[in-house]
Structure 1
Amino acid sequence: MAQTGEIVIKIEGMSCGHCKAAVEGALKEVAGVTSAAVNLEKKEAVVTGSAELAALHQAIEEVGFDVVA
């Protein structure tokens, strides 16, 4: 079932601008995502749109980072 609205995902392993760009780029490729913004200090991504949570987690993990449950 797709999550709709603003989705906050906690992420471990990000430490730089390249990490931020990689995660944002991967999330924006997920069907239904209208925007994605990563905050390195909070270690989280805020995604807006209507997307499957599993697909968002998979996109993050495919670029090398860990989703915190």
Structure 2
Amino acid sequence: MKLTKTRVGALLTPVTGQAFYWDWEDAPNGFGVRITPSGAGSYILQKRVDGKLKRLPLAHMRI
């Protein structure tokens, strides 16, 4: 899915834990949005570094 401002605003918040939504169209591999139950979210970049999965928050937002 392409993560546009409209689509990000319509994403559902999880009841527990975190929800991840990934952009599979125009963005670089590993670009997505992380959403928490409180409605807080972050644009993130996820990559594997030295065999370990790393997530870098790029910008914070409220859903």
TM superposition score normalised by structure 2: 0.31
- Structure ranking higher in strand proportion: 2
TM superposition score normalised by structure 1: 0.30
Q: Which protein has the larger Cα radius of gyration, Structure 1 or Structure 2?
A: 2
- Structure ranking higher in helix proportion: 1
